[in-house]
Amino acid sequence: MTEEASDSSAINTLKRVGSEWIGYNTDVFGFRFLLGKIPEVSPSSVGEKSVAILGAGGTARAALVALRDSGKEIKVFRRSAERDQALLKANPDVEILDWSEGATALQMSILINCAPVEAMESIIRINHFNGFLLDSLYSPWPTPLMMVAQSNYFSGKDLLVAQAIRQNEIFCDATLDHAASFAELRATI
């Protein structure tokens, strides 16, 4: 298992090398790639220092690993405390809050959604979000949060494509041009 998979306590890609299996978490790469692109697509987001993450599963933990050493204030809103230790393993600098406080996530400058659509109904009671949204969901389209964020977001399709770049590198033992690969793959879906 790679360090990123271990730190996020989640594997989404397996590769057989000889007689061994190696577990990877390519979502970590996907989040790093997209977080790095925010200044390109939303210049007003440059310098934004606060991030809210909705959810506590494997995708949320991958986002936390990607945000390590970012210098950003990070808050995770979760529905139960059972995954708190895994969240802290992914990023010890995170503040963990109860789901009931989730409406305050909409005050953060970057919002990463890793929770299912049905969970959103309990916290989304506004009609506008001024920050940048990175929504890991891609169905239904548009997601409730995307409708609130309007055009200032990356979708779950963007995350799917970004992590697929890393999967291609793993399976092909190659180094790809990330920006060109993203543009080419994203145009196909």
pLDDT tens column, 59-107: 999 999 999 988 899 999 999 999 999 999 999 999 999 998 988 888 8
Distance, in Å, from the CA atom of 126 to the CA atom of 102, rounded to the nearest integer, reads 12
Helices (H) and strands (E) counted in the chain, each on its own, are 8, 8
Return the domain boundaries, the chain.
26-186
Shortest CA distance to 155 belongs to which of 168, 164, 146?
146
pLDDT for 120: 75
Shortest CA distance to 182 belongs to which of 162, 154, 157?
162
Per residue in 122-135, pLDDT (tens digit) is 666 666 677 889 99
Cβ contact 106:125 at 8 Å: no
Candidate ranges 67-71, 150-154, 171-175; pick with highest mean pLDDT = 171-175
How distant, in Å, are the alpha carbons of 166, 168, 175 from that of 172?
Answer: 10, 6, 9
What CATH topology corresponds to 26-186? Rossmann fold (3.40.50)
For CA atoms 71, 58, 21, 178, give the dihedral sign.
negative
How distant, in Å, are the alpha carbons of 2, 108, 116, 164 from that of 18?
Answer: 16, 46, 37, 23
